[in-house]
Structure 1
């Protein structure tokens, strides 16, 4: 029974410039590890082939070193690979693919589907109908050609394409590179392996997006997996299994803090996350001085555990309680300054006023602790 691994959207050479240099480098390196992991998975699962449905590279301008490292990362699986150009690495007249050829970087077992057509893997009983993108954006369905292409009898008809299934994905996603939702029926495909949507998604019983094997953005769409597909014979329904390949998991939380228990629950949730986490927080609402110190402590612990933590507090109002102020033992001028900062938080300078109040409270709290030791 033929079995193949379906993956896509590696985006190799992607830059993570929004992160600190160490974190960005680690996130980039994890993408090479993901290729190595899926290659080993193909070995462990006795796959007959690996199909890559576009966007192997993030851009045409990736370095020669990146090109060589990508193909080196596939070395564990010695069977056939079929790689399809996507919108990020379209098969232009001069492209990352032609450069890979000149470098001699493409192994003999890697088939580059740079032109529309059928790649026949007779030994594996697979006929791969490929619709490569030859420019970044198209407005016609390149998979329509599948309907007319003939394949050898007895081989599975597997479509390989990169684009947007019409009427299924969000409207802003399916504007270009369209693919008909019933292409498997129209073309008599046993399976349609898709790339472009970075999460694992089933369109129908024969059509799947595999998603990217290593998440690279804050979108909750089931990224970080590859698919292993079994097909007993032409016409049989595929048996699809999802396998986790992600090193890092990305979380984007938008939280409103109203009462102390909201903060307690937030910190408890952070503590439950795995160490290989990339966390992006945006906080709104109000917090006391004591809560502010509690939040700082929780974030400090998270920063030490996770790959990356960022926290936007621009929408978070600092509202000291009477107990907070009394605990600071701030009399005279300092007391007046704290009261002024409290009043100014509601104006246009709420951000600076909040920050100044937090800093002053922290300094006073530290000084009080020193005195009481």
Structure 2
């Protein structure tokens, strides 16, 4: 009964340009840590192999140090690791894989399947039918040859490929590389391990996308997992179980603040976030000045607690009430400035953001002055 861990889309070397440098470095490092956790899990589970269905590296141009660090991260499990290239790290004539081999970085337990073919592991009871990408994009189904491929009797037939099962996935996936729906059935596969879709998705009882083991997008698609697979025997239905492996939780909130209770609820939710949260927060609606100051305080606190916080305030207005104006003693020229800033919030461009920030700063200064008088 062969047992595997199935994973894909490690994207080692991925850059996070939209984040602050401190956060970007930590998120990039988390991808190496995810591989180390996979190795530790494989050793604990005593699986027969780890199947890695492409996009091990995010680009062909990663540094030699990154290559060495990736293969060093495999050391917690002696193998076999069975890896194929995907669209990000295709097996070109000169590629990240040929560089890794020249560097002598590839451990003996790592089997790089850089050409299509069958690799048998008779001592472990299975054979791998590999469909590596040899260029970034193709319009041919590289798994078509699986149907006629022969494997020794009694060995489980395991397919390993990277691409898009036709008619199943959304249009915005990373590459168009097609895989026919029903390939596992037609090719008599006991299991088809796929990469390219970054979330867990079971296409049918024998065809599975593992997703990326460490989330890197704001999607609720089951990322951050690996798949444990048991194949009872040739022709029998595999037992498939996704297992949580990711460290950071990426979440996106779109919040409209209209009444005081909306802000109360948002502050409560922010207080409940852990330090392993990557939050993208879009705000809309309107707050009075007291509410704005309370929101700023809550965001400052959560920014120090979460891994990363990005806030988009373009849709959020500051609306000083008459009570706010009276409390700030904002009459005369100062009152006119505040009124002008309120109007500029409606500009809908960079000037609106500037006006909103200026209004918040002015309100804060006036509030501090009022408290000190």
The answer, yes or no, to whether TM exceeds 0.5 is yes
Q: Secondary structure at the match of 1:345?
A: helix
Shift of 1:347: 4.0
| CA contact 2:225–2:242 (8 Å) conserved in 1 | yes
Equivalence for 2:354: 352
Within 5 Å, give how 1:171-210 maps onto structure 2. 171-173=171-173, 176-210=176-210
Residue 56 of structure 2: aligned partner: 56
Shift of 1:337: 2.1
Offset of residue 59 of structure 1: 0.4
Give the conservation status (yes or no) of the 8 Å contact 2:174–2:196.
no
1:203-282 aligned within 5 A: 203-282=203-282
Q: Which residue of 2 aligns with 1:36?
A: 36
- C-alpha separation between the residues in 2 aligned to 1:114 and 1:241? 28
TM-score (norm 2): 0.96
> 2:137–2:175: 8 Å Cα contact kept in structure 1?
no
CA deviations on 1:90-138 (whole Å, 9 max, x unpaired) are 0000000000000000111111010000111112111111000000001
Q: Number of matched residues?
A: 371
Match of 1:144 in 2: 144
Contact 1:166 1:174 in 2 (8 A): no
Give the deviation of 1:175 after TM superposition.
6.6
1:72-221 mapped onto 2 (5 Å cutoff): 72-173=72-173, 176-221=176-221
Return 5+ residue gaps in structure 1 as ranges: none
Instruction: Decide which moves more: 63-72 or 233-242.
Output: 233-242
Distance in 2 of aligned mates of 1:234 and 1:271: 51
- Tell me if structure 2 keeps the 8 A contact 1:2–1:125: yes
Counterpart of 1:291 in structure 2 is 291
Q: CA separation in 2, counterparts of 1:345 and 1:30?
A: 39
Question: C-alpha distance in 1, partners of 2:202/2:372?
Answer: 60
| Deviation digits for residues 213-267 of structure 1 (CA, Å, limit 9, x no counterpart) | 1111222211111011011111111111111111111111222222222222222
Partner of 2:26: 26
Task: Compare 16-25 and 325-334 and name the one that shifted more.
Answer: 325-334
Contact 1:165 1:174 in 2 (8 A): no
Q: Deviations over 1:148-179 (max 9, x none)?
A: 11111111101000001111111343871011
Instruction: State the distance in 1 between where 2:59 and 2:281 align.
Output: 29
Question: 1:368 is matched with which residue: 349, 355, 370?
Answer: 370
2:47 counterpart SS class: coil
**Secondary structure of the structure 1 residue equivalent to 2:111:** strand
With 301-310 and 281-290 compared, the bigger mean Cα shift is at: 281-290
What is the Cα deviation at residue 22 of structure 1?
1.5
Query: Are 1:196 and 1:211, in contact at CA under 8 Å, matched by a contact in 2?
Result: yes
Counterpart Cα distance in 2 of 1:200 and 1:85:
19
Indicate the SS of the match to 2:32. helix
Structure 1 residues 19 and 141, CA gap change in structure 2 (3 angstroms): same
Q: Distance in 2 between matches of 1:174 and 1:118?
A: 26
Which is further off, 344-353 or 329-338?
A: 344-353
How much is the aligned-residue C-alpha RMSD, in angstroms? 1.4
Structure 1, 31-40 or 168-177: larger mean CA deviation: 168-177
State the distance in 2 between where 1:245 and 1:228 align.
12
Mark the CA change 1:61 to 1:175 in structure 2 (over 3 Å): closer, same or farther.
closer
Q: Distance in 2 between matches of 1:60 and 1:174?
A: 16
Residues 176, 343 of structure 1: CA spacing in aligned structure 2 closer, same or farther, 3 A cutoff?
A: closer
Could you tell me whether the CA contact under 8 Å between 2:173 and 2:196 is conserved in 1? no
Task: Output the CA distance in 2 between the equivalents of 1:246 and 1:33.
Answer: 9
